[in-house]
Structure 1
Amino acid sequence: MRPAMDEQRHRAALWFRELRDRITAAFEALEDRAPGDAPAGRFEVTPTERADNGGGGIMSVMRGGRAFEKVGVNWSEVHGTLAPRAQAAMAARGVPGMEDDPRFWASGISLVAHMRNPHAPAVHMNTRMFWTPRAWWFGGGSDLNPCIEYADDTAHFHNTLRDACLPHGAEYYDRFKAWADEYFFIPHRGRARGVGGIFYDDLNTGDWEADFAFTRDVGAAFLPAFLPLAEARMTQAFDDTDRDTQLIHRGLYAEYNLVYDRGTKFGLETGHNADAVLMSLPPLAKWV
Structure 2
Amino acid sequence: MSSDFEEYKSEASAWFRNLRDRIVAAFEDLEDRSPGEGPAGRFEVTPTERDEGRGGGGIMSVMRGGRVFEKVGVNWSAVHGTLAPRAQKAMAARGVPGMEADPRFWASGISLVAHMQNPHCPAVHMNTRMFWTPNAWWFGGGADLNPCLEYAEDTAHFHAGMQRACDAHDPAYYPRFKEWADEYFFIPHRGRARGVGGIFYDDLNTGDWAADFAFTKAVGAAFLPAFLPVTEKHIGQAWGEAEREAQLVHRGLYAEYNLVYDRGTKFGLETGHDANAVLMSLPPVAKWI
TM over 0.5: yes
Distance 2:199 2:108 in 1: 20
Shift of 1:2: 3.4
Distance 2:33 2:233 in 1: 11
Report the secondary structure of 1:59's partner residue.
strand
Shift of 1:111: 0.1
Describe the superposition over 1:23-58 as per-residue Cα deviations: whole angstroms up to 9, x where unpaired.
000000000111112000000000000012100000
Residue identity opposite 1:45 in structure 2: V
Describe the superposition over 1:211-256 as per-residue Cα deviations: whole angstroms up to 9, x where unpaired.
0000000000000000111111111000100000000000000000
Task: Tell me whether 1:70 sits opposite 2:71 in the alignment.
Answer: yes
Distance 2:249 2:33 in 1: 28
Distance 1:79 1:179 in 2: 28
Q: Which runs of 5+ in 1 are unaligned?
A: none
Task: Tell me whether 1:202 sits opposite 2:170 in the alignment.
Answer: no
Report the secondary structure of 1:205's partner residue.
coil
Q: Which residue of 1 aligns with 2:272?
A: 271
Task: Tell me whether 1:50 sits opposite 2:50 in the alignment.
Answer: yes
Distance 2:204 2:37 in 1: 46
Residue identity opposite 2:274 in structure 1: N
Residue identity opposite 1:8 in structure 2: Y
Describe the superposition over 1:167-191 as per-residue Cα deviations: whole angstroms up to 9, x where unpaired.
1111100000000000000000000
Distance 1:244 1:100 in 2: 52
Percent identity of the aligned residues?
78
Q: Which residue of 2 aligns with 1:7?
A: 7
Q: Which residue of 1 aligns with 2:240?
A: 239
Distance 2:35 2:257 in 1: 32
Distance 2:37 2:123 in 1: 23
Shift of 1:195: 0.2
Residue identity opposite 1:48 in structure 2: T
Task: Provide the aligned C-alpha RMSD in A.
Answer: 0.6
- Indicate the larger mover: 99-108 or 40-49: 99-108
Q: Which residue of 1 aligns with 2:120?
A: 119
Distance 2:33 2:247 in 1: 23
Shift of 1:100: 1.9
* Equivalent pairs, count: 288
Distance 1:98 1:3 in 2: 19
Report the secondary structure of 2:272's partner residue.
coil
Q: Which residue of 1 aligns with 2:39?
A: 39
TM score, norm. by length of structure 1: 0.99
Distance 1:201 1:3 in 2: 23
Report the secondary structure of 1:221's partner residue.
helix
Residue identity opposite 2:165 in structure 1: A
Residue identity opposite 2:27 in structure 1: F
Distance 1:198 1:222 in 2: 11
Shift of 1:109: 0.1
Shift of 1:115: 0.3
Q: Which residue of 2 aligns with 1:257?
A: 258
Q: Which runs of 5+ in 2 are unaligned?
A: none
Report the secondary structure of 1:24's partner residue.
helix
- Indicate the larger mover: 277-286 or 79-88: 79-88
Distance 2:248 2:230 in 1: 20
Distance 2:138 2:253 in 1: 30
Report the secondary structure of 2:16's partner residue.
helix
Task: Tell me whether 1:157 sits opposite 2:161 in the alignment.
Answer: no
Describe the superposition over 1:144-189 as per-residue Cα deviations: whole angstroms up to 9, x where unpaired.
0000000000000000110110011111000000000000000000
Report the secondary structure of 2:137's partner residue.
strand
Residue identity opposite 1:75 in structure 2: W
Residue identity opposite 1:95 in structure 2: V
Distance 2:37 2:280 in 1: 26
1:220-231 matched pairs, under 5 angstroms: 220-231=221-232
